[in-house]
Structure 1
Amino acid sequence: MIWSIGMHLSSMVFLLLFSIICMTEFLWMILFNFSYYVEWEIVSLNSSSLEMTLILDWMSMLFLSFVTFISAMVMFYSGSYMAGDENMNRFMYLVLGFVASMVFLIISPNLVSILLGWDGLGLVSYVLVIYYQNEKSSGAGMLTALSNRIGDVAILVSIALMFDLGGWGFIFYVDGGYFSEISGLMILVVLAGMTKSAQIPFSAWLPAAMAAPTPVSALVHSSTLVTAGVYLLIRFSPALVGWGQSILFILAGMTMFMAGLGANFETDLKKIIALSTLSQLGVMMYILSMGYYKLAFFHLLTHALFKALLFMCAGSVIHSVGGTQDIRAMGGLIYIMPLSITSMNLANLALCGTPFLAGFYSKDLILEVAFSSLLNEVCFWLLVLATGLTVCYTFRLIYFSVSGDYNLASLSCVGDEESIMTSPMIFLGSGAIMGGAFLSWFIFPSPWMICLPLNLKLLALLVSAMGGFVGYLLNMTTESHKLNSFSNYKVVLFVGSMWFMPFLSTYGVSNLFLRLSQSYHQSSDSGWLEYYGAQGAYKSFEESSEYSQLAQDNSIKIYMIMFMLWLILVVAVLF
């Protein structure tokens, strides 16, 4: 136990120092406008060189600073949350491996080297999702791994296609239009980013990954695994044109609407926050597909701050109330957990885009830029409705945590006494308040002039107010009419189950593709291909080798007897 505490403290200090160094480098680079590109050539093959490359620019340094800062807070938080776990050392090493994979992905401008961090994230995430070793965790881990393998295959095929360009350092090819010369290359990169960031139709694995411990969820949903796809497409954004851009634009709009709608029917606390992450990832992909990669990166960073805080507060609540995650079993927690609930609602308000909190600076700018762009009617209303639904499920969560009836058992021991769990909330809460303002000054030093009509200018505020009003009042009425949803059970089932995507991603795939592969295996691999292939060749060679061996035995007696019998037969025939 002493070693475990020492480990989480030492790892926190190391990651915090690394974060400060990266932030200092970022300020230095953005002030003097320079970056580092480091390259080691490993092997050269037919004019294509395989190099180990690193890029250290303002974007990678700023993202590294955020990743390591949030990881430091998560490691310190885990010291209390995972204190009763027998395998705490293993958990700490896995989380550090997870962070190392993300660091390697951030600083790799080479598609071959980026695959190491990309696959590392997939492998370690699978191990962390199945950490509790039960049937639910095993199914969730397999769904997570298989969904991400599609993106891994897309990266591998992209590496093969980029062989024609003479190298895999994509940072040199995204601006020159080289990607458009190779058909399908950018669509494969978009596919990889969509699987990692759980866009439709690969969204089912994100809520399923909530089977992992809550500190892992805080890390995964804020700054590591799910943001890897967005970060990859930010790096490829100059080449994001044509079919890839259109597909991403439509699917991102559908994703943020679907996730916002589903979160309003969910009762699992962690899954509600997971669906809110999915909705915000849709917002990032949406504005990225419109060509504003800096805005997507800005929202990525602000979202990381308040989403990590939100998961930590949720973990503190779950830890205190005895392990239950059903929000209907909570209520009135503000009186007995004031620090955790205040921090959670602070993060919720930042998520809604409440003025002058972190989320406001990025979300409001994204909405205004989108409203001033050329959007069709469907995409415009998807963005507006998704914004309202975000506030709706946020105020639903606020109702159940603040002003709802106290539904816990009378002997529940609930409180904020764990200082190791509450201390990181204070630091991340400060980031959720001030982080958006500081980032907007650094990333956008020159203010943007956006001219909008009064109705569009007030639309975001109006939709947010309506969403909060509906979310709060609707849940006050459903408390006294709990069974109203059964009158529209099919609609509630469809919307609450993410449009049946978990079913299609599990049973649909197993019934269609796995059965198809089984029949193919029986008829081909174990059938005709086996008969005329490996086993047929083996039997043919075996028979021919027997004849050859018989001919090489060289037995004089046998040959003499055979010769005499043949000679007698010939004489008998002739005479």
Structure 2
Amino acid sequence: MIWKVFMHEVSMVFLGVSSIYCGASAILKLSKNMSDVVEWELMSLNSSSIVFTMILDWVSLLFLSFVFLISSSVMFYSGSYMKDDKTFNRFMYLVLMFVLSMMMMVLSPNLISILLGWDGLGLVSYALVIYYQNEKSANAGMLTILSNRVGDVAILLGIGIMSSLGGWNFFVYSPYMDDCNWMLFKFFLMLAAMTKSAQIPFSAWLPAAMAAPTPVSALVHSSTLVTAGVYLMIRFMPALIGSAMQSSLLIISCLTMFMAGLGANFEYDLKKIIALSTLSQLGVMLSILSLGYVNLAFFHLLSHALFKALLFMCAGAVIHSVGDYQDIRFMGGLVSYMPLSVSYMTVANLALCGFPFLAGFYSKDLILEVAFMSWINLIAFILYVLSTGLTVAYTGRLIYYSLSGSFKSKSFSSIGDNDSIMGNSMTFLGVGAIIGGALLSWLIFPDPMMICLSGVMKSLVMIISIIGGVMGYMFNVLSVTNSLKSMSIYTLVVLMGSMWFMPFLSSYNNSKVSLLIGEAMQKMGDKGWYEQFGAQGIYLLFSKGFVVMNNVQINNVKVYMKMFVISIIIILLVYI
């Protein structure tokens, strides 16, 4: 027990100090408008130098500061949440490995060194999803890693295409990548970002990854791993500005945002509701990024990390107290028993909805106003509006079922805020969720942004939020009192509540088709043509060649005579 306490406290202190140092360095770099690049050449291959590069600018250092801050709080939180786990040390080492992989990805402007951190994130994420070692976790982990492998292969193909430039430093080459010659590379880049950030059609893995421990969800699946794709797109944005990929990314991210908000209103698993809200906010980040507002997407990425990690930690405290139930229908009235956790959870929920002067307000309100001011099409505009209303609706639904109302848990339940470690770790992020948005706004946007909107468009966000909250509350009351009415439109309810059948398409049917194709490819390829023209074919060719060479080298006169006669005949035929 002493070692467990020592490990999570030391990790918290080390990561906290690192966060302060990186944050101070980021402010210094931003104020002086400077960046440092460190390169270490590993090898040179065909005039292409393979170098390990680190870039220390305000974007990478500020993002790393937030990664360290959230990791520090999650490490301390895990000291209480995972204290009864027999493999606690393994869990802590896996989280530290994840932080190291994230650090490698964030600091790398080189596509090859990015791949090291990118693959490390996928591998450690898989190890954390299957941590509980049951069938559900194994299935979720397999779906997670196979979905992410698509993005890994896309980056490998991008490395192959980019090798024609003689280097892989995208800071140097990305401003000169036009659509005419680099469209395929941009497609692979967007594909990699879509898989890691769980955009359509790769959205199924993020709710499935909630099989991992809750501290993992707070760190990995809310603020770091899933935002790696957004961060990659931010870094490559000079190559994407003016590209045809921008419009494709806009419609995909808006559809993801709407689909996740719709699915969260039909979900009853507490962690999956928060995971779907994460998916919706990832759509917000990529949609505003596709419109060309890089700093605004980065601003929302950082502010979202604060309140979403806090929301997961509050959910973990609630799940721990009510006897490890995750169904919100078995909760209720928790505000009377867990006032501290419920207060933090309410702050995080309000920040998610964009409540004025909380962290989410400064970024989300600015994103919506800039999007309404931009040249977007009608479909994207409608999806933005509907997604905003759905966010308030599922947040109100979560509060209605779990935090307010009557007590629905077991009779013998020890519910309360008795754990000081969980409470203290949530306090760090709670303060960030309240004042973090204002501080970041002053830091990233020291000059106010010019917003030119009509009165109706300016008040549209507030109107839609109020309508979404009221309709969400009314539908919740109706669903409780008339729960059998939904059976008459069962297919439609399943369609909306199951992310448009995406988990089914991503798991059973897809895996069945993939296995059949793999079996055919193995018979035709690995055991067929590849053997004929590969290892076995070369073996037979060399065997026959060695027999001929052996006969020549044993000084056999008959062999020489045969060869001499054959040579004479060939010469005569050629000249005659």
Distance change >3 Å, CA 530–CA 55, structure 1 → 2: closer
- Is residue 187–residue 243 contact of structure 1 (8 Å, CA) maintained in 2? no
Distance change >3 Å, CA 527–CA 27, structure 1 → 2: closer
- Offset, 1:401: 2.2
- Is residue 179–residue 185 contact of structure 1 (8 Å, CA) maintained in 2? no
Secondary structure in structure 2 of the residue aligned to 1:37: strand
Between the aligned partners of 1:288 and 1:245, the Cα distance in structure 2 is 9
- Is residue 179–residue 244 contact of structure 2 (8 Å, CA) maintained in 1? no
Counterpart of 1:509, as a letter, is N
- Is residue 353–residue 363 contact of structure 1 (8 Å, CA) maintained in 2? yes
- Offset, 1:342: 1.1
- Offset, 1:221: 2.8
Quote the residue 1:513 is aligned against: 514
Taking the TM superposition and a 5 Å limit, the aligned residue runs for 1:247-326 are 247-326=248-327
Quote the residue 2:495 is aligned against: 494
Taking the TM superposition and a 5 Å limit, the aligned residue runs for 1:120-269 are 120-177=120-177, 181-240=181-240, 241-269=242-270
Between the aligned partners of 1:10 and 1:344, the Cα distance in structure 2 is 27
Between the aligned partners of 1:455 and 1:333, the Cα distance in structure 2 is 38
Quote the residue 1:568 is aligned against: none
Quote the residue 1:455 is aligned against: 456
Quote the residue 1:42 is aligned against: 42
Q: After the TM superposition, which of the residue ranges 477-486 and 263-272 deviates more from structure 2?
A: 477-486
The superposition leaves residues 122-167 of structure 1 with CA deviations (integer Å, 9 ceiling, x where unpaired) of 0000000000001110111111101111111111111111112121
Between the aligned partners of 1:434 and 1:44, the Cα distance in structure 2 is 48
Secondary structure in structure 1 of the residue aligned to 2:50: strand
Quote the residue 2:338 is aligned against: 337
Secondary structure in structure 1 of the residue aligned to 2:175: coil
Between the aligned partners of 2:34 and 2:548, the Cα distance in structure 1 is 76
Between the aligned partners of 2:554 and 2:102, the Cα distance in structure 1 is 66
Between the aligned partners of 2:42 and 2:331, the Cα distance in structure 1 is 57
- Offset, 1:443: 0.3
Quote the residue 1:350 is aligned against: 351
Counterpart of 1:187, as a letter, is F
Quote the residue 1:446 is aligned against: 447
Quote the residue 1:360 is aligned against: 361
Between the aligned partners of 2:439 and 2:369, the Cα distance in structure 1 is 20
Distance change >3 Å, CA 24–CA 546, structure 1 → 2: closer
Q: After the TM superposition, which of the residue ranges 198-207 and 401-410 deviates more from structure 2?
A: 401-410
- Is residue 222–residue 305 contact of structure 1 (8 Å, CA) maintained in 2? no
Secondary structure in structure 1 of the residue aligned to 2:465: helix
Counterpart of 2:162, as a letter, is M
Between the aligned partners of 2:198 and 2:405, the Cα distance in structure 1 is 33
The superposition leaves residues 363-400 of structure 1 with CA deviations (integer Å, 9 ceiling, x where unpaired) of 00000000111111111000000010001000000111
Quote the residue 2:559 is aligned against: none
The superposition leaves residues 301-342 of structure 1 with CA deviations (integer Å, 9 ceiling, x where unpaired) of 000000000000000000111111000000000000111111
Quote the residue 2:573 is aligned against: none
Counterpart of 1:72, as a letter, is S
> Does the alignment pair 1:21 with 2:31?
no
- Is residue 144–residue 208 contact of structure 2 (8 Å, CA) maintained in 1? yes
The superposition leaves residues 206-234 of structure 1 with CA deviations (integer Å, 9 ceiling, x where unpaired) of 00100100000000133210000000000
- Is residue 306–residue 432 contact of structure 2 (8 Å, CA) maintained in 1? yes
- Offset, 1:547: 10
> Does the alignment pair 1:97 with 2:101?
no
Number of equivalent positions: 555
Between the aligned partners of 1:356 and 1:547, the Cα distance in structure 2 is 86
Secondary structure in structure 2 of the residue aligned to 1:54: strand
Q: TM-score, normalised to structure 2's length?
A: 0.93
Counterpart of 1:78, as a letter, is S
- Offset, 1:523: 3.6
Q: TM-score, normalised to structure 1's length?
A: 0.93
Between the aligned partners of 1:542 and 1:6, the Cα distance in structure 2 is 64
Quote the residue 1:566 is aligned against: none
Q: After the TM superposition, which of the residue ranges 304-313 and 165-174 deviates more from structure 2?
A: 165-174
- Offset, 1:528: 5.5
Counterpart of 2:173, as a letter, is Y
Between the aligned partners of 1:423 and 1:173, the Cα distance in structure 2 is 46
- Is residue 207–residue 274 contact of structure 1 (8 Å, CA) maintained in 2? yes
- Offset, 1:179: 7.2
Q: After the TM superposition, which of the residue ranges 543-552 and 302-311 deviates more from structure 2?
A: 543-552
Between the aligned partners of 1:544 and 1:177, the Cα distance in structure 2 is 49
Quote the residue 2:380 is aligned against: 379
Quote the residue 1:112 is aligned against: 112
Secondary structure in structure 1 of the residue aligned to 2:483: coil
Between the aligned partners of 1:62 and 1:109, the Cα distance in structure 2 is 15
Identity %: 62
Distance change >3 Å, CA 413–CA 45, structure 1 → 2: same
Between the aligned partners of 1:253 and 1:13, the Cα distance in structure 2 is 39
Q: After the TM superposition, which of the residue ranges 478-487 and 100-109 deviates more from structure 2?
A: 478-487
- Is residue 174–residue 238 contact of structure 1 (8 Å, CA) maintained in 2? yes
Between the aligned partners of 1:251 and 1:382, the Cα distance in structure 2 is 11
Between the aligned partners of 2:153 and 2:405, the Cα distance in structure 1 is 48
The superposition leaves residues 74-97 of structure 1 with CA deviations (integer Å, 9 ceiling, x where unpaired) of 000000000000000000000000
- Is residue 330–residue 400 contact of structure 1 (8 Å, CA) maintained in 2? yes
Counterpart of 2:471, as a letter, is V
Between the aligned partners of 2:128 and 2:529, the Cα distance in structure 1 is 42
- Is residue 257–residue 281 contact of structure 2 (8 Å, CA) maintained in 1? yes
- Offset, 1:50: 1.3
Max Rg structure: 1
RMSD: 2.0
- Is residue 77–residue 420 contact of structure 1 (8 Å, CA) maintained in 2? yes
- Offset, 1:247: 1.4
Secondary structure in structure 2 of the residue aligned to 1:182: helix
- Offset, 1:531: 5.8
Between the aligned partners of 1:543 and 1:235, the Cα distance in structure 2 is 55
Between the aligned partners of 2:549 and 2:61, the Cα distance in structure 1 is 70
Distance change >3 Å, CA 507–CA 312, structure 1 → 2: same
The superposition leaves residues 55-112 of structure 1 with CA deviations (integer Å, 9 ceiling, x where unpaired) of 1111111111111000000000000000000000000000000011111111111111
Between the aligned partners of 1:250 and 1:189, the Cα distance in structure 2 is 17
Between the aligned partners of 1:288 and 1:553, the Cα distance in structure 2 is 74
Between the aligned partners of 1:45 and 1:525, the Cα distance in structure 2 is 30
Give 5+ residue unaligned stretches, structure 1.
Answer: 555-575
- Is residue 222–residue 275 contact of structure 2 (8 Å, CA) maintained in 1? no
Distance change >3 Å, CA 5–CA 471, structure 1 → 2: same
Between the aligned partners of 2:178 and 2:478, the Cα distance in structure 1 is 58
Give 5+ residue unaligned stretches, structure 2.
Answer: 556-576
- Offset, 1:552: 11
Distance change >3 Å, CA 44–CA 468, structure 1 → 2: same
The superposition leaves residues 385-424 of structure 1 with CA deviations (integer Å, 9 ceiling, x where unpaired) of 0010001000000111222221101111111100111111
Counterpart of 1:401, as a letter, is S
Between the aligned partners of 1:525 and 1:54, the Cα distance in structure 2 is 40
- Is residue 331–residue 403 contact of structure 2 (8 Å, CA) maintained in 1? no
Counterpart of 1:202, as a letter, is F
Between the aligned partners of 1:481 and 1:361, the Cα distance in structure 2 is 39
Quote the residue 2:8 is aligned against: 8
Q: After the TM superposition, which of the residue ranges 167-176 and 364-373 deviates more from structure 2?
A: 167-176
Distance change >3 Å, CA 546–CA 311, structure 1 → 2: same
- Is residue 217–residue 311 contact of structure 1 (8 Å, CA) maintained in 2? yes
> Does the alignment pair 1:327 with 2:294?
no
